[in-house]
């Protein structure tokens, strides 16, 4: 149990920080648009990555350094495109309103298909090199220090991901009154654009 609690705390410390993935989950939660799909995609991705890290897959990154470079450039390009879309929404808003049976989301904005939302969630997760460094290398190394309890540590980290993404995705509706105001959506999209650009630049400078 102590190993699991340590994994829970360590896992949360890695994913709670503001990042592309969290911003996307928050926005989908506010729109109440395929939240279950997003939460499941992010959680299952973390489960796979954490399991691989504890199993020792982090050594692959050390053996194939060019793979990190490819992921860094691909991830930066994707983040910049996503930042551009967010900036366009901030500069050219469609307005915002509360529907009687839906959460706050821009009026007139069509719902994206589940496939599109799933693809974006997976891209934001798997094209980010930091997720591999955090889970395969860092978390895997820390888990290794727990010896035979490393899989309990991994289980705790996996539960942390499930709890966080579920709380972020479904808890976003608590901000519904705030996003009944049109300006709130513009601010959110502007923040998303800035965060995405900052992350992209950080990825490129990391090389």
Q: What is the mean pLDDT of residues 27-38?
A: 92
Q: What is the mean pLDDT of residues 2-9?
A: 82
Type and span of the H or E element at 110: none
Question: Is residue 158 a contact partner of residue 46, using CB atoms and an 8 Å limit?
Answer: yes
Average pLDDT of the chain is 81
Question: Is residue 43 a contact partner of residue 162, using CB atoms and an 8 Å limit?
Answer: yes
| pLDDT tens-digit series, residues 127-163 | 887 788 788 877 888 887 788 888 999 899 999 999 9
- How many domains in the chain? 1
Give the SS3 label for residue 163: helix
Question: Is residue 5 a contact partner of residue 156, using CB atoms and an 8 Å limit?
Answer: yes
| pLDDT tens-digit series, residues 164-205 | 999 999 999 888 888 777 788 888 889 888 988 888 888 788
* Confidence bin at 104 (pLDDT 50/70/90): very low
CA 7 to mean position of chain CA atoms: 19
Q: What is the pLDDT of residue 188?
A: 86
Question: Is residue 79 a contact partner of residue 20, using CB atoms and an 8 Å limit?
Answer: yes
Q: What is the pLDDT of residue 8?
A: 81
- How far apart CA 140 and CA 121 sit, in angstroms, is 23
A 10 A CB-CB count for 21 gives 22
Q: What ranges make up the beta strands (E) of the chain?
A: none
- How far apart CA 110 and CA 207 sit, in angstroms, is 38
Question: Is residue 96 a contact partner of residue 184, using CB atoms and an 8 Å limit?
Answer: yes
- How far apart CA 134 and CA 132 sit, in angstroms, is 5
Distances (CA, A) of 51 to 28, 42, 55, 153, 199: 27, 14, 6, 10, 25
Within the chain, what is the greatest distance between any pair of CA atoms?
Answer: 55
For residue 159, what are the domain limits? 2-206
Q: What is the pLDDT of residue 162?
A: 94
């Amino acid at each position: 149990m102590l190993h699991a609690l340590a994994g829970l705390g360590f896992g949360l410390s890695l994913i709670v920080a503001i990042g592309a993935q969290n911003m996307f989950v928050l926005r989908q939660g506010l729109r109440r648009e395929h939240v279950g799909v997003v939460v499941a995609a992010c959680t299952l991705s973390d489960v796979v990555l954490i399991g691989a890290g504890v199993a020792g897959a982090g050594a692959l990154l050390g053996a194939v350094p060019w793979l990190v470079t490819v992921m860094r450039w691909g991830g930066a390009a994707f983040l910049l495109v996503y930042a551009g879309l967010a900036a366009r929404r901030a500069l050219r808003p469609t307005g915002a309103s509360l529907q009687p049976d839906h959460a706050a989301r821009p009026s007139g904005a069509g719902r994206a298909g589940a496939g599109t939302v799933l693809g974006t969630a997976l891209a934001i997760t798997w094209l980010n090199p930091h997720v591999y460094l955090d889970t395969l290398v860092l978390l895997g190394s820390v888990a290794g220090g727990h010896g035979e309890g490393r899989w309990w540590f991994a289980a705790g980290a996996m539960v942390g991901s499930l709890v966080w993404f579920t709380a972020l995705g479904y808890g976003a509706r608590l901000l519904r009154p705030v996003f009944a105001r049109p300006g709130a959506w513009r601010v959110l999209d502007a923040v998303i654009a800035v965060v995405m650009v900052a992350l992209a630049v950080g990825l490129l400078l990391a090389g």
